[in-house]
Structure 1
Amino acid sequence: MTNPPEPPALLATFDAHDATQALNWIAVTLHTIRGALDQPATEAASAWLHEGRDACRLTLQRGDPYLVTITHATTRITWTIHPVLYLPQATHRTTSITKCRTSPNPDTQR
């Protein structure tokens, strides 16, 4: 009797500011784990590091998502990269925001 496979699990997220930062994060992670992978997974990681990054970058520049998947024995590791357009929130530390007046406007007093 074999155990049923475990469902996929989200182990971490990373908010990259651009495609280059996302690609670098995956590259660093692949370099870090490559020594512990079996031969087929090591070859797949090396192939992506040497040839897959350009295809990934072009896909992201078109605005499409991209998956990087490495399978080691019975474990599948997938990185999902998808462009997200958003406006960062303004904070008092990074943006000059006008303070509210503490005294009444002299022009409106009569």
Structure 2
Amino acid sequence: MGRPRKQLGSLDAETAHQAVRWIRIAARTIASALDDDAFTEIWAWLSDDHQDALQALTKGEPCTLTVHDSRTTIQWTAHPVRYLKLSTRQGINLPACVEKYAQPQEQRE
């Protein structure tokens, strides 16, 4: 049979609602192809349990939905990522520390 294959993918979402909506769409798309137990599990998440995931993401906590079919395990994980938005040096409201750093120089060969 060989080693199990893993397939990974990712999606950027700007809000907790967008992340949960993407998981719900993907889960609903594959639900009819799952065995009865997995279908029941995923349908419960789609119906009500997704609200827990939404609350967790809103609080800054990760959430995971894992479904085990007869031969396959499918897992969605969403977690918040905090980052600073980038600004150009021509921006109006630049931080005070911007003058401390020189303009980047062209790379020399």
TM-score range, shorter-chain basis? Answer: 0.7 to 0.9
For structure 1, the residue ranges without an aligned partner over 5 or more in a row are 99-110
- Give runs of aligned pairs for residues 6-21 of structure 1, distance below 5 A: 6=4, 9-21=6-18
Is 1:63–2:60 an aligned residue pair? Answer: yes
Q: Name the TM-score, length of structure 2 as normaliser.
A: 0.72
Runs of 4+ in 1 over 6 A off after TM superposition: none
RMSD between superposed Cα atoms in Å: 2.0
How has the CA–CA distance of structure 1 residues 10 and 87 changed in structure 2, closer, same or farther, with 3 Å as cutoff? farther
**Aligned pair partner of 1:31 in 28, 32, 52:** 28
Q: Percent identity?
A: 34
CA distance in 2, matches of 1:19, 1:5: 35
Shift of 1:49: 0.5
- Give SS of 2:32's match: helix
Matched letter for residue 6 of structure 1: P
In structure 2, distance between residues paired with 1:18 and 1:52? 18
For the pair shown, which has the larger CA radius of gyration, 1 or 2?
1
